Structure 1
Amino acid sequence: MATILDQNGQPILQEIASIKRDIHRVFYGGILQLNEDDTLKSRGGGKGLKIYDELKRDAHAGAVLAKRKLAVTSRPWKVEPASESAIDKQAAELVEKALKHLRFNHLCKRLLEATLKGYSVAEVLWEVRDGYVLPARVMARDARRFVFGIDDELRLLTRENMVMGEAMPPRKFIVHRRGADDDSPYGTGLGGMLFWPVFFKRNGITFWLTFADKFGSPTAVGKYPNGSDKASQAKLLQALSAIAQDAGVIVPDGMVIELLEASRTGSVDTYEKLVRYMDEQISKAVLGETMSTTAAAAGLGSNQAGVQNDVRLEVAKDDGDELDETLSDSLVRWIVEYNLPGAGLPRLEHCFEEPEDLAKRAQRDKTITEMGWEPTEAYMLETYGDGWVKKAPAPMPQMLLPGAAPGTDPGADPAAVQPMGDTAEDPAADPADAAFADGVPLGKAGAQRAFNKARQQAISDGAEALAAEWQALVRKPVEDVLALAEASGGDLVQFRERLTTLLDAKPDPEVVQRFAQAAFAANVMGRGLAPKKTWGQKLADLVKRRTRT
């Protein structure tokens, strides 16, 4: 980076375009006259900065100004040491302890008055406590009581010196500035920007009230006959005045009272729109956005509220950074210099990190878990905090092996499982009369797989046994259809009409019985019957026995 040198090749160190050389600034007796705020010059009169205090009397302006302060003071703050050395850590601990002893949030709110006025002043009251020189209190002072000298020194206006003021000692007053143009010690607040919207709003409400009074109720008109004396006219006027409070009035005979409805043109809500528009301008000037104070419709998915909330946070963070810089360069520095000279200056910081949306994090974790990954216990504690324990795995379902006696090993060879009841002793016994098997919980996956395989094979064998006799089962219906076709002589219309007669015919009892037997056998299989013979064999035997009977 190039260094700007003078004609002798030396760097130019002194300030050249200082504010005291500004030809546009007015100095009187070495005192810089109150800032170049045009609003203060034209509307301040003898009040000065007081006109900006009056802006807070407006409900909306006062609310958004307080909201901007709270956006900073509601945040947690911390004091970070300059390094990891022992003395720097000690300095950070001392500063943090001193700030907690004060009404620190209240101090920050008062210093943030510079947002409105351009600058704010607070006086530090020191005391010796626990062997250290520490602030006992920090008192906010009215900014109107101070002026700045030609060298930026703070001066207090007193009764004895109401123009020049008295120079203030060092390490005594905290001066917080905002938006200083050309390093003006008076700064540039929002008051000049807010004055006119609030002014127009107040006048708009005044006209609105007049409008409501004029058009909200009719005007009473009294008519008296010619020649009425002053006393009669006074009675009529008194009656007109009574209309506003009384339900009824009386007037002398010959006098008339009429209600005159005022005619109007234009929109009724003109004044309301004006007031709301001014409120929006106030919100924009203070917060940088309007949606956090005024409900407004936005397009679906537009995310306007999120964008405007980000703007509000940016404004708050900027206010917090400027305030932290002021306090770090004044109060924090003075505490360290008084008590631990040589220590690195700690860093005061308001924290603006937004908390993470755990709902979105949980949804992301769920998606990653479904992809086959599993979070560690340390990650769960760090992300979601304490108070969580890993859920115990669900117990395995109590599966029963058909034919297994209580106490037998479920993991044994499925072929070795003995059937229960009379079926185990008498192979010729009817499976339909066999008792259902007792079972034991399935403890090993191998036994379960073998059992499932055996059941699937049994179902397949039973289906094959039933399918092997399909020709015998459907022969009679097919013969009836063929005979009907021959009798129709090739006439398809006649064949279709005669075909409906077969629907009324009773089905073959043998076919019905075969299918009923097959359904019964399948039901028995589903209930866990496990004879020595395979399921297919037993199903085939059952069909044959039922056919014989």
Structure 2
Amino acid sequence: MAQIVDLQGNPISSQAIGEPQTARMSTLYRRWEEHPSKGLTPQRLHAILEQAERGDLQGQHDLFRDMEEKDGHILTEMGKRRQALTGCDWDIVPPNNASKSEKADAEWLHEVVESLELEEIILNAMDAIGHGFSGQELEWQRQGKETLPVALNSRPQNWFTISQEDHKTLLLNNAGFGEKLWDFGWLVHIHKAKSGYLARGGLHRTLCWPYLFKNYSVRDLAEFLEIYGLPMRVGKYMPGASDQEKATLLRAVTMIGHAAAGIIPEGMDIDFQNAAAGSHEPFEAMMNWCEKTESKVILGQTLTAQADGKTSTNALGNIHNEVRHDILRSDARQLARTLTRQLLWPIMAVNRPGADPRRCPRLMFDVVEAEDLAQYAEALPKLVESGMQVPVNWAHEKLRIPKPMDGEAVLGKQSGEDKPPKPAKDAAARYLAVLRNRAGELVPADQAAIDALLDGLPGEQLNSAMTRALAPAITALRETADPEAAIAAMVASYPDMPDDELTDLLARAIFVADVWGRISGRT
């Protein structure tokens, strides 16, 4: 029996095929999140981040989840980034110069991956953008003659720890001990959103500071509205009032503030003073700065988020869209490599013993955006007419128009029968070809050539065309004796006059006369 190997060709153990690695680690399933965002301060945040660098990831990643749960702007922007790839087309392509069997393997892998919940797998894997990494545990099952993954279960980041030897190897945190992840048992996506050690690779490390400052501003704004947003109520009691009377007045002032109703003893007064001068703008300015910073960190730009509520120009929008597309391409390349190495190859290695890891099919995302069809439809004919040789494959790729399969119906230019008749003004251009040679140059014309052009233009034909053209007007004249009514009838019948034949004959005659005069030197 052939030995199962990894992508580097090294023999590996297949124990993960039998059961998931965490199946007997009950302590992991009883681990609850600590919600460190409660009462978060700069000092405590700094301590949480330091603990993560030393391998204790519990506090850091619990905080990261709290951030998305409590900050709607972070959740929305991260959702845009994570879900961008779920809407992209994907394919599994064979290696270069693939043999027939390698192409068949690629098609088989496509069917296997298509049977999985790939959209959910992508969404869970892209959680690594904020956390730095994401882990999904493979669950294998025997199906006929094949052993295939039937589920990929997402595991929280606080189940893992980091090796203190290299600060980049991810381990399973089993009761405080780091345990190596089983081969073919995990799909671990390490996303390089920024360089650095694994514990510091996620974008949430940068986002946690504007998140903290924004929380301070929101809290301060709430206190401002509570203290200064309502008018101050002042109760006045009579000199010599007892403590009981004072307490009664205080309760009335408080009740008026919350219930808008209250009673006081006769002789006592309650005055309403204007709220102290102040503005909410400083707090909102701080909150807007934090949200724009969050958008820049996650999406690379702020235009699609519009945290400041302003509009922008179309040119600026195109620039920001290019930034978004650059990030999408990077995300697609990184995730495609992970899925190829940790999903496609394990399936191949288990079911195709002896397969060459260097010839493994690859998963690819289609993130190429179609060009502007209207712009290319106008530019390409002009470039071709000027002599530029444009490859058909390049045009199809740019415009994202697939090539037709054999026998597939396609759109095409109208045939001659389906085209509308050309206007009479183009008659001269059609007959000019008679007087041109293959190089497109005018040649001297003899009487025979002129006679050939004039053939079909006898007086009888002109008279016949004239009669048919004027027939509606003549009929209108015969039906009325009033001159004004006759003129009106002629005007009304003008659109019905069939003058195409007459116009074409006259254009031919005038054109031939003009050309003959120029060639003969008479004009």
TM-score by length of 2: 0.64
Q: Equivalent of 1:316, from 324, 328, 337?
A: 328
Match of 2:60, SS state, is coil
Match of 2:182, SS state, is coil
Alpha-carbon distance in 1 for matches of 2:498, 2:201 = 88
Alpha-carbon distance in 2 for matches of 1:196, 1:97 = 44
Q: Which runs of 5+ in 2 are unaligned?
A: 1-44, 403-409, 426-453, 465-489, 491-496, 514-523
Alpha-carbon distance in 1 for matches of 2:105, 2:199 = 32
Q: Equivalent of 1:449, from 508, 513, 521?
A: 508
Provide the residue aligned with 1:213 in structure 2. Answer: 226
User: Between Structure 1 and Structure 2, whose CA radius of gyration is higher?
Assistant: 1
Q: Is the 8 A contact 2:300 2:323 kept in 1?
A: yes
Residues 366 and 182 of structure 1: CA distance in aligned 2, closer, same or farther (over 3 Å) = closer
Q: Equivalent of 1:40, from 42, 45, 48?
A: 48
Q: Is the 8 A contact 1:79 1:96 kept in 2?
A: yes
Alpha-carbon distance in 2 for matches of 1:305, 1:389 = 36
Provide the residue aligned with 2:161 in structure 1. Answer: 147
Provide the residue aligned with 2:15 in structure 1. Answer: none
User: Cα deviation per residue 1:461-482 (whole Å; 9 max; x = unaligned)?
Assistant: xxxxxxxxxxxxxxxxxxxxxx
Q: Is the 8 A contact 1:178 1:187 kept in 2?
A: no
Provide the residue aligned with 2:349 in structure 1. Answer: 337
Per mean C-alpha deviation after superposition, the further-off stretch among 227-236 and 333-342 is 227-236
Identity of matched residues, %: 24
Residues 208 and 418 of structure 1: CA distance in aligned 2, closer, same or farther (over 3 Å) = closer
Q: Is the 8 A contact 2:184 2:342 kept in 1?
A: yes
Alpha-carbon distance in 2 for matches of 1:291, 1:444 = 59
Alpha-carbon distance in 1 for matches of 2:115, 2:181 = 25
Per mean C-alpha deviation after superposition, the further-off stretch among 386-395 and 206-215 is 386-395
Alpha-carbon distance in 1 for matches of 2:206, 2:255 = 46
Provide the residue aligned with 1:252 in structure 2. Answer: 265
Q: State yes or no: 1:326 paired with 2:338.
A: yes
Q: Which runs of structure 2 are paired with 1:181-196 in the superposition (5 Å)?
A: 184-186=197-199, 188-196=201-209
Residues 247 and 94 of structure 1: CA distance in aligned 2, closer, same or farther (over 3 Å) = same
Provide the residue aligned with 2:379 in structure 1. Answer: 364
Q: Which runs of 5+ in 1 are unaligned?
A: 1-36, 400-409, 421-435, 455-549
Residues 107 and 39 of structure 1: CA distance in aligned 2, closer, same or farther (over 3 Å) = farther
Provide the residue aligned with 2:173 in structure 1. Answer: 157
- Which residue identity does 2:367 align to in structure 1? F
Q: Equivalent of 1:177, from 161, 168, 190?
A: 190
Q: State yes or no: 1:348 paired with 2:363.
A: yes
Residues 43 and 290 of structure 1: CA distance in aligned 2, closer, same or farther (over 3 Å) = farther
Alpha-carbon distance in 2 for matches of 1:282, 1:69 = 15
Residues 441 and 251 of structure 1: CA distance in aligned 2, closer, same or farther (over 3 Å) = closer
Q: Equivalent of 1:76, from 89, 108, 113?
A: 89
Q: Is the 8 A contact 2:193 2:203 kept in 1?
A: no
Residues 230 and 281 of structure 1: CA distance in aligned 2, closer, same or farther (over 3 Å) = same
Provide the residue aligned with 1:27 in structure 2. Answer: none
- Which residue identity does 1:414 align to in structure 2? P
Q: State yes or no: 1:271 paired with 2:283.
A: yes
Match of 2:91, SS state, is strand
Provide the residue aligned with 1:465 in structure 2. Answer: none
Shift of residue 216, structure 1, vs aligned partner = 2.1
User: Cα deviation per residue 1:340-363 (whole Å; 9 max; x = unaligned)?
Assistant: 232421111112111121121123
Match of 2:177, SS state, is coil
Q: State yes or no: 1:390 paired with 2:402.
A: no
Shift of residue 53, structure 1, vs aligned partner = 0.6
- Which residue identity does 2:229 align to in structure 1? G
User: Cα deviation per residue 1:132-183 (whole Å; 9 max; x = unaligned)?
Assistant: 221111111011112244477654334xxx2114444221012211239887
User: Cα deviation per residue 1:287-317 (whole Å; 9 max; x = unaligned)?
Assistant: 111111115455x67x222222111111122
Provide the residue aligned with 1:97 in structure 2. Answer: 111
Shift of residue 252, structure 1, vs aligned partner = 0.8
Match of 1:48, SS state, is helix
Q: Is the 8 A contact 2:194 2:203 kept in 1?
A: no
Provide the residue aligned with 1:516 in structure 2. Answer: none
Residues 128 and 376 of structure 1: CA distance in aligned 2, closer, same or farther (over 3 Å) = closer
Shift of residue 323, structure 1, vs aligned partner = 1.3
Q: Is the 8 A contact 2:195 2:201 kept in 1?
A: no
Match of 2:239, SS state, is coil
Per mean C-alpha deviation after superposition, the further-off stretch among 369-378 and 114-123 is 369-378
Residues 441 and 97 of structure 1: CA distance in aligned 2, closer, same or farther (over 3 Å) = closer
Alpha-carbon distance in 1 for matches of 2:512, 2:193 = 85
Shift of residue 329, structure 1, vs aligned partner = 1.6
Shift of residue 119, structure 1, vs aligned partner = 1.4
Residues 261 and 442 of structure 1: CA distance in aligned 2, closer, same or farther (over 3 Å) = closer
Shift of residue 396, structure 1, vs aligned partner = 5.5
Q: Is the 8 A contact 2:336 2:365 kept in 1?
A: yes
- Which residue identity does 1:136 align to in structure 2? V
User: Cα deviation per residue 1:338-388 (whole Å; 9 max; x = unaligned)?
Assistant: 112324211111121111211211232465589799999999999677445
Q: State yes or no: 1:414 paired with 2:458.
A: yes
Provide the residue aligned with 1:459 in structure 2. Answer: none
Shift of residue 213, structure 1, vs aligned partner = 2.2
Q: Is the 8 A contact 2:193 2:201 kept in 1?
A: yes
Q: State yes or no: 1:203 paired with 2:212.
A: no
Q: Is the 8 A contact 1:147 1:156 kept in 2?
A: yes
Provide the residue aligned with 1:307 in structure 2. Answer: 319
User: Cα deviation per residue 1:403-454 (whole Å; 9 max; x = unaligned)?
Assistant: xxxxxxx96443466969xxxxxxxxxxxxxxx9x99973996675237889
